[in-house]
Structure 1
Amino acid sequence: MSLRDQESFLSNIHPFEVLNGEEMNLCIRNMDIAYYPKDTTILSPEKNSTHFFIIIKGTVHEITSEDQMVMDFHQEDSFDANSLIYGECKNNFIVKEDLICYELEKKTFLSLIENNTKFKEFFLNNLVSKLQNLKEKKYTSELSSFMIAKVSDTVTHEPCIVQSGTKLIDAIESSIKFNTSTIIVEKDGKYGIITDSLLKMKVLLEGRTLTIPVDDIAIFPLLTVNKDDYLFDAFSILIKKNIKRVGVVDNRGNMLGILEQIDVLSHFANHTYVVDSKIKKASNIKDLKQASIELINTITILNAKGVKVNHISNLIGQLNTKVYKKLYGLIIPKELQNDACLVVMGSEGRNEQIIKTDQDNALIIKDGVDVEQYRPYMEEVTRTLIDFGYPPCEGNIMVSNPFWCKSFQAYTDETKKWIEAPDMQNYMDLAIFFDSFAVAGDKELLIKLKDDLFNKLHDQDVFMAYFAKATLAFDTPNIIANFMTKTHYIDIKKTGIFPIVQGIRSLALRERIRETTTVKRIKILERRKVLESSMANELLEAFDILCTLRLKSQLLKLQENKKINNEIDTHSLGKIERDLLKDSFKIVIDFKKFITYTFRIDKIS
């Protein structure tokens, strides 16, 4: 290789691209090409490293003293920084395919560590920082202001703040001076809001005078966001709560301004709002179908703009909820709507189904109400959702199935059976039901059912151990050894996503956590000290990476008119994506060990 070729090769190896020209030249001057035949032990606990290795061609396996493979290294991979930095090699590095590699002298490598902060941070930071570093390099070119914009980056309007007890007419005069139609009322350090529509409804229509105190009509509390929050999160709140404005506060809770929905829309200029508006305005099934179909375009646009998969699933989940709620109102007669509760379950209940892969839903009906009168409407709901593009559930977990359309008492009898006579089907049904989220009707029915479930699980340690055991149901690769072979498809849901979801779900069930999304459950478990911060952060990073890779694969299949599934083609992954996947699987494997220990799974048959 020429010097130019060497520099080009190194520049594509992270984090060597952060080196300046002088540092890159230093590398090239102190780097040689070496060859090692198959089965050579390059490093071991008895044979510490004198070089940093960068693979040009071939394969190296890292193997523990117990003969467990922990990593395989291929073209453009590098090893072993740890033995150079810490002066010891813990595992054996054995050549499995004839190896051609660069060897960078230890002295030079440590000099780069000492003099280049970014280079140092990559090798010395924890796994979470490494993952974030890799993701930043991978997706920086794909990012836009859509993803990284903060609330402080867009237009906020100076707030017209009046104190509690102010006469309404004085408050209106003040708002005119501020040239705003929004009045903020401050009371005991908290904020409320008065809008034009509120003045019409509470004053004009009710014939009240303008001398009343603002407290009489102000709505408390005013929803707020922090100035440092992501603008996309603020947009999600506006969509979820169906409101037109939120307050903007600083880290001390002081009111800084008002963020209007129209300003967020003008900043993003995407068609998410269009879809939301179409759902709201839909007066028949045909119009609602059109709005639902456009969700795929929304997903594609958000993904192309570099929006995090967690944000996409959150927003799409909220829009899906609105589709379900609108459909419920269009199909079920008004006199029956408040005697039942429509719920979504599984990945839909967790807000984690982005692409429409199937439907998991159920109906809870008040005791004493005739269940049979709902059945034809539930069959119509299922047929309509299929027509909307929500595939039928292969396990028939849908409201058209009588098992998932029954009375409150019937569900309490069912949950008792799940716990007292558990089998694999009952464990699965419980897991799906625990992730349920109410979308329409009387939501108290679901709340009470979960209260009943939590009470039944008191002191059920053996049951919880078996429930958590499902976390181990599928093998997670401890290496990605098939990147360069014919077998290169991995079911990323079974190997990575499901173990995180099920393990976290088991902890959440034991802790009586009502939140359904995996990300929020992790954060709650961290606050409760069930998960250490380091593990929680690693799980959040791994879950984001795995879901992102799955979404990328699914969108590609959509474009190619292929069947949507959870398989990813590892041959299509770039070097950094392979590294992200490898490190994510390492996190999943460690989490499985934690779940095994926490629930004493090794003590049950």
Structure 2
Amino acid sequence: MSDIPSAPSSSIHPAEFDFGLPPFDLLTAGEREGLASALDIGIYAKGRPLLTRDEPVDALFVVLRGSVLERHGGEAAALHGPGDRFDLAALYGAGPARSFVAAEDTVCHLIPRPALEAAARDNPAFGAAVLGAFAQRMSDLAGERSNREMAALTMARIRQAYLHPPLFVPGTASLRDAADAMKRGKASSVLVRDSGPDGGERIGILTGTDLRDLVVLEGRSVDAPVGPLARYGLLTLDRDDLLFNALVLMTKHAVRRIVVTENGAVVGLLGQSDLLAVLSNHSQVIGLQVEHATDPEDLRRASLSTVELIRTLHATGVKVAFIADLVTELNRRIFRKLFELLAPPDLLANSCLIVMGSEGRGEQLLKTDQDNGLILRDGYHCPDLPRIAADFSRHLVAFGYPPCPGGIMVSNPDWTRPLAAYKDAIFHWIHRPDEAAQMNLAIFYDAAAVAGDPALLDEAKGYLLGRLQDNQMFFTHFARPTLAFDTPSGLFAALFERRRAEPVDIKKAGIFPIVHGVRALALEKRMTETNTVARIWALAELGALDRKLAGDLAEAFAILSTIRLKARVDSPADGEAGTELAIDNLVRLETLGKLDRDQFKDCLALVKSFKDTIAYHFRLNH
């Protein structure tokens, strides 16, 4: 962990550690001696990273001399000076991604995790001061995220819920006619158009419960007209009203449905169960559904709930990066639970289920092609593995994840194999880099572990990074797909000429060049980050990417991802609640608002410039 570029560690001794600093002043003399004997020293030249995003951490840093700049998402968040300590969040795998860079020549004491935990265990007051406060901070952060998400959900509009189509009968229709209409329309109520006392039209409602009470309990004739028997003075809300208001109205009047209008006309009925279905699409609720799932059908329902979560959060203005974090977490829980339901314990202990591509990078919002695989421990054999792998892929299709056209799925033996076979494949991808090999290497570089033993993936990725050489030809080949698709620049002129511009494939024209160009730079630097934005800022911290360009790229990536999601959520084909979001990357410029159009134009211009940067850096035009 220590990076010692400029001074011998022998010039500094752990005895220099200041035990007068809170909370270390709570330790006894013996406990101080034990902790001092475990201390390590790290010396860092100005500008050198101490910790980068997603880097494994096994010690607590305490600044002795100098200062350390902490960044969140590329933004300066704090400056740590002598006596300050960090990074408990990374040590215990919590909190947002962050990085630490020496703001000047800096010396830090490093307290190994075992020594820190031993001191906390032996001295409860010290443990409470160090780990207890940390736990509370993490709890506060989790609560803040939960509150933000719930606030977004309670700001959802009625139009985001499923509305039952209005089913009308005239006031002269009989109770039998009303019952027949409900049966044919598969409805639990009908709306009644009748003449009011003042001679004008009025609309009432007759429910299945009303029919039962009128006919069975009161003995009404089934030929009696519904007009005088319907209930009038309906509870109505506009389609753009808040779902929360509908919940309050239903609760106040003890009813199970309200009538929804738009521009004064009745457009449907909102049932209590449909309202609650939207408001219950909180990530914690979905997480509990996954946790308590006992069969794949339970998981399928939870998976469909994530679609409604995406719709609701997007409609209430939540940023795409936040939505992606939630969806990534929920998807991986679903994949993990499905694998645990299908795999015997010995397979779980001797394999690592991985997701790749956009799912591995934590950027998948839409349910695009499956990109997954299984790494087996060398020497392990599971006789039933082909059936288990086929069932896993089949169930994911039922969950809404289409099969991968390239066959990158656990059901394909090429992606379910021992670690040694993966290493052989990686060797081939690096040293015989045809087009397919380059694609496989790129996809695997983005892999993340979701179930089983993650050490298997760590070893495979370590092998990948260790085999890379400073071979200009290899990186030229690897980076070349960045330029594979055209990024149009003149298409916006059509809008000003009153012509319909051709749809733009936003993934090929904008998102993919950023993802792959950044991926090529990250691979060249042997980085372990998988997320595109995390790679962008890590490259900036190393000086491999201009900081202004890094900021522009991160912003453009967020804007393009937002436009892509908005195009899918707002698509007429996706208008019904409970349906999947279509896998279509085409953006039709005439459907964009002026702000989105201007941002899209600026983003594409930046992407063209970035492609030129990549072409120059990797000598793609030579």
Q: Secondary structure at the match of 2:401?
A: coil
Deviation track 1:531-569 (CA, whole Å, cap 9, x = no partner) reads 001110110111111111100011123226784211111
| 1:247 is aligned to 2:137 | yes
Q: Report the counterpart of residue 512 of structure 1 in structure 2.
A: 526
Provide, for residues 146-193 of structure 1, a one-character-per-residue CA deviation record: whole Å limited to 9, x for no partner.
xxxxxxxxxxxxxxx997459xxxxxxxxxxxxxxxxxxxx9866989
Structure 2 equivalent of residue 327 of structure 1: 338
Contact 1:382 1:399 in 2 (8 A): yes
Aligned residue for 2:140, secondary structure, equals: strand
Which of 351, 356, 373 lines up with 1:362 in the alignment?
Answer: 373
Q: 1:364 is paired with a residue of what secondary structure?
A: strand
Of 359, 363, 373, the residue aligned with 1:348 is 359
Distance (whole Å) between structure 1 residues aligned to residue 503 and residue 431 of structure 2: 39
Q: 2:408 and 2:470 mapped to 1: Cα distance?
A: 29
Take 2:366 and 2:459, find their aligned partners in 1: how far apart are those partners?
31
Matched, 1:467 2:478: yes
Alignment of 1:394-405 (within 5 A): 394-405=405-416
1:585 to 591, 599, 604: 604
Cα-to-partner distance string for 1:421-464 (whole Å, 9 max, x where unaligned): 22111111111111111111111111111111112211222011
Q: Are 1:273 and 2:289 an aligned pair?
A: no
**2:593 alignment partner in structure 1:** 574
Counterpart CA distance in 2 for 1:212 and 1:446 is: 36
SS at match of 1:398: coil
Aligned residue among 433, 443, 451 for 1:432? 443
- SS class of match (1:294): helix
Shift of 1:283: 2.9
Equivalent pair of 2:24/2:126 in contact (CA under 8 Å): no
> Any idea what SS the aligned residue of 1:601 has?
coil
Give the drift of 1:380: 0.9
Question: Which residue of the partner structure matches residue 415 of structure 1?
Answer: 426
Moved more, 531-540 or 279-288: 279-288
Q: Distance in 1 between matches of 2:432 and 2:438?
A: 10
Partner residue, 1:178? none
Question: Mean alpha-carbon deviation: is it higher for 343-352 or for 271-280?
Answer: 271-280
Candidates 200, 214, 223, aligned match of 2:124: 214
Give CA-to-partner distance per residue, 1:399-436, whole Å, 9 cap, x none.
00111111111111111111222211111111111111
Relative distance call for 1:322 and 1:219 in structure 2 (3 A) is farther
Taking the aligned partners of 1:267 and 1:540, their CA distance within structure 2 comes to 23
Check if 1:457 corresponds to 2:473. Answer: no
Q: What secondary structure sits across from 2:137 in the alignment?
A: strand
CA distance 1:302–1:366, shift in 2 (3 Å)? same
Q: Which one of the candidate residues 120, 140, 156 is aligned to 1:259?
A: 140
Matching residue's letter, 1:298 = L
CA distance in 2, matches of 1:441, 1:522: 29
Secondary structure at the aligned position of 1:488 is classed as coil
C-alpha spacing 1:223/1:441, structure 2 compared with 1 (3 Å): farther
Equivalent in 391, 395, 408 of residue 384 of structure 1 = 395
User: Match of 1:497, SS?
Assistant: helix
Contact kept? 2:480, 2:620, Cα under 8 Å: yes
Gaps of 5+ in 1: 1-160, 167-186, 194-210, 225-244, 249-257
Distance in 1 (CA, whole Å) between partners of 2:132 and 2:126 is 15
Cα offset, 1:277, TM superposition? 2.0
Q: Please tell me whether the aligned partners of residues 289 and 299 of structure 2 are also in contact (alpha carbons under 8 angstroms).
A: yes
Distance 1:261 1:536, change over 3 A: closer
The offset of 1:466, in angstroms, is 0.8
Give the structure 1 partner of residue 48 of structure 2.
none
Structure 2 CA distance for partners of 1:164 and 1:334, relative to 1, 3 Å: farther
Give yes or no for contact 1:375–1:405 (8 Å, CA) kept in 2: no
* 1:472 Cα deviation from its structure 2 partner: 0.1
8 Å Cα contact 1:371/1:406 also seen in 2: no
TM-aligned CA deviation for residue 218 of structure 1: 5.9
> How far off is 1:212 after superposition?
6.4
1:164–1:214 CA contact under 8 A, matched in 2:
no
SS at 1:247's partner residue? Answer: helix
1:266 deviates by: 4.6
- Determine if the alignment matches structure 1 residue 311 to structure 2 residue 322: yes
SS of 1:362's equivalent in the other structure is: strand
Look up the equivalent residue of 2:298 and give its one-letter code.
D
Contact in 2 for aligned 1:282/1:288 (Cα 8 Å) = yes
Query: 1:309 offset after TM fit, Å?
Result: 0.9
- Contact between 2:325 and 2:362, CA under 8 Å: does it hold in 1? yes
Of 544, 552, 556, the match for 1:542: 556
Where 1:368 maps in the other structure, the secondary structure is coil
TM norm structure 2:
0.57
Distance 1:357 1:482, change over 3 A: farther
| Paired residues of 1:364 and 1:405 also in contact (CA < 8 A) | yes
Q: Does the 8 Å contact 1:468/1:503 carry over to 2?
A: yes
Corresponding residue for residue 564 of structure 1: 583
State the partner residue of 1:493: 507
Closer, same or farther: CA 264–567 of 1 in aligned 2, 3 Å: closer
SS at match of 2:362: coil
The higher radius of gyration belongs to: 2
Matches of 1:500 and 1:436, distance apart in 2 = 18
Paired residues for 1:152-191 under 5 Å: 164-165=26-27
Give the Å deviation of 1:291.
1.4
Residue identity opposite 1:525 in structure 2: L
Query: Cα distance 1:212–1:464, how it changes in 2: closer, same or farther (>3 A)?
Result: closer
Partner residue, 2:39: none
- Superposed, 1:140-159 pairs within 5 Å as none
Distance 1:443 1:341 in 2: 6
SS where residue 578 of structure 1 aligns? Answer: helix
For 1:342, what is the secondary structure of its paired residue? strand
Q: Which AA in structure 2 matches 1:312?
A: I
CA shift, 1:488, in A, is 2.7
The answer to whether the aligner puts 1:555 opposite 2:569 as a matched pair is yes
User: Cα 1:291–1:563, aligned 2, differ >3 Å: closer, same or farther?
Assistant: closer
Contact 1:342 1:362 in 2 (8 A): yes
Residues 371, 407 of structure 1: 8 Å contact kept: no
The 5-angstrom pairing of residues 290-309 of structure 1 reads 290-309=301-320
In the other structure, the counterpart of 1:599 is 618
CA distance 1:219–1:363, shift in 2 (3 Å) = farther
